[in-house]
Amino acid sequence: MVELNLRRVRLNRHLRTAMRECRVHRNQLIQPVFAVDGIDGRETIAGLDEVYRDTPDSLLAQIEADLAAGIDKFLLFGVPRDKHLTGFDHGFASERIAAIKNRFGTDLWLAVDVCLCSYTTHGHCGVLNEAGDYVVNDATVAELAAAATQYADAGADCVAPSDMMDGRVGAIRAALDARGHERVTVMSYAAKFHSSFYGPFRAAANSAPAADNPLSDRSTYQLDPARPSDALLSAARDDAEGADILMVKPGLPYLDVLADLSAAIPKPWAVYQTSGEQAAIDVLAKHQLIGRDAAQAETWTAFVRAGAQMIISYAARRAQAILKD
């Protein structure tokens, strides 16, 4: 004999929506944008639908369209034309920040990624020693703090260090406060893993470590995927150094980390659905193997269920189609 028990409440669609324990709202989403110096027109990014390498003009037009679509939070990546070993110029990114804030003011919230991998000749996230086999911690932190204060001077609402050096959150917080930027928030990439899911981003940001480096990858500063305790240490340290918002990155492969850390540290949590994760969804949809919007919504629900309040997603600008109810 068949007896309904758990299925009884699943039968009615009104009840199904009413029983949900977590919901995703458009206002939780943060849209990454790329501003690229020295290109003639906006460029597409291999693997990512409806995400572009923007010129200064196309970036403003894109943000205007995103605001009209109900997306009001952005994470800006500045990609300079000229690369250096040290002595970096953050003018291009700073000008973009000023232009965005002049045009849109408090209609939007602008976070700016703070890192050096788009700025260095070798593609590492910091300054290398002479042998080229070590990212020098403190010299890198000094450069990052200088970049963060410039971005704050230009009007950034938030700075987001993604480099994974030790002590950068404290150094950035101190540098911001010393310049009167005590209202600028720091969103730390607290648990950023050494992941294979960053591929499309590195092409977009022109930031892949050069193949001829003695240091061929980012494993000496990003976290090992098999060491969740390092994620807890890193997040607790960034919390103690004054990070306002903490982040786990990538998203889906690290839901366990997100759940554990967000339960352990009662600060706002963000999750970064990385370029490789996005491309996986988009390519499956392109081959009609999944429904693009439903799959996207499912991943966002998983992030909220695991404890994220904020989601950095390349598909944020499509939220109205994705989040139908």
Q: Which residues pair with 31 in a beta bridge?
A: 74
Q: Answer yes or no whether residue 201 interacts with ligand PBG by CB under 6 A.
A: yes
Applying CB under 5 A, the span of 56-64, 117-125, 127-135, 181-189 interacting with Zn ion comes to 117-125
Binding residue (CB under 6 A) for ligand PBG from 207, 296, 299, 313: 207
Token digits for 319?
A: 């939220």
Alpha-carbon span 236 to 51, nearest angstrom: 33
Q: 272 vs 26, 146, 148, 255, CA distance in Å?
A: 15, 25, 20, 11
Binding residue (CB under 5 A) for Zn ion from 115, 204, 271, 322: 115
Alpha-carbon span 58 to 67, nearest angstrom: 14
Closer to ligand PBG at the Cβ: 162 or 296?
Answer: 162
Site for ligand PBG in 245-304 (CB under 6 A): 274-276
**Phi-psi label, residue 259: left if phi above 0, alpha if psi -120 to 50, beta otherwise:** alpha
Residue 202's binding partner among ligand PBG, Zn ion, none (Cβ under 5 to 8 angstroms by kind) is ligand PBG
Q: For residue 48, give the nearest of 273, 308, 311 by alpha carbon.
A: 273
Q: Answer yes or no whether residue 149 interacts with ligand PBG by CB under 6 A.
A: no
Applying CB under 6 A, the span of 58-66, 94-102, 194-202, 286-294 interacting with ligand PBG comes to 194-202
Alpha-carbon span 247 to 310, nearest angstrom: 9
Residue 246's binding partner among ligand PBG, Zn ion, none (Cβ under 5 to 8 angstroms by kind) is none
Q: Answer yes or no whether residue 114 interacts with Zn ion by CB under 5 A.
A: no
Q: What is the DSSP letter of 248?
A: E
Residue 254's binding partner among Zn ion, ligand PBG, none (Cβ under 5 to 8 angstroms by kind) is none
Residue 201's binding partner among ligand PBG, Zn ion, none (Cβ under 5 to 8 angstroms by kind) is ligand PBG
Amino acid at site 221? Y
Shortest reach from residue 275's CB to ligand PBG, in Å: 3
Buried b (16+ CB within 10 A) or exposed e, 161-185: bbbbbebbbbbbbebbeeeebeebb
Closer to Zn ion at the Cβ: 125 or 252?
Answer: 125
Nearest 10 degrees: Cα torsion 67, 69, 70, 75: -60
Q: Convert residues 123-142 into a mask of x (bound to ligand PBG by CB under 6 A) and - (unbound).
A: --x-----------------
Closer to ligand PBG at the Cβ: 31 or 150?
Answer: 31
Binding site for ligand PBG (CB under 6 A): 113, 115, 117, 125, 162-163, 198, 201-202, 207, 218, 274-276
Binding site for Zn ion (CB under 5 A): 115, 117, 125
